[in-house]
Amino acid sequence: MNEGSKYYPLYVYLRQRGQDELTLTLAEIERLIGERLPETAQSQRSWWSNRSRGAVQAAAWMGAGYHVEEMDFANGRITFRKPGKIYSVQREGDAILWNADMIKALRYHMGMNQAEFARELGVRQPTISEWETGAYVPKRSSSKL
């Protein structure tokens, strides 16, 4: 994270925290960075996405070891969480039963955003999003993981 970045103070703040999960209000984030967040940050989930490329704001929390886990726009709260290091792997015979946490962990481990991960697996990006949010679980017959 570049010291001259607008979001560097957020990076420093998060980096100094030892908590696995931390919730900040939008006002607290604005005080940290010393200016107002863009309008999109107050209403659009995409602004808070955990992109590894192309988003200076995401570099702040990801560089500090966090991911945005929850956005509560109605109450102006953002929850940051350190990705888990231990995952429970479930099996059915020789097949791994993939769940949302394991899919996210694999993608983060590979250092990819959802679009890159989708290309790697040969699926659409919305499919990755649906897997990661638990909208549905990949079936063994159609799983490309």
**How confident is the model over 40-86, as pLDDT tens digits?**
999 999 999 887 677 899 999 989 989 898 999 999 999 999 876 66
By three-state DSSP, how is residue 109 classified? helix
Domain ranges of the chain: 8-81, 90-133
Residues 6+ apart with CB under 8 A from 130: 136
- The confidence score (pLDDT) of residue 14 equals 96
The model's pTM is: 0.65
Please list, in sequence order, all residues whose beta carbon lies within 8 angstroms of the beta carbon of residue 78, skipping any fewer than 6 positions away.
23, 24, 25, 26, 29, 48, 68, 70, 71, 72
Contact 43, 62 (CB under 8 A): no
CB-CB contact of 14 with 66 (8 Å): yes
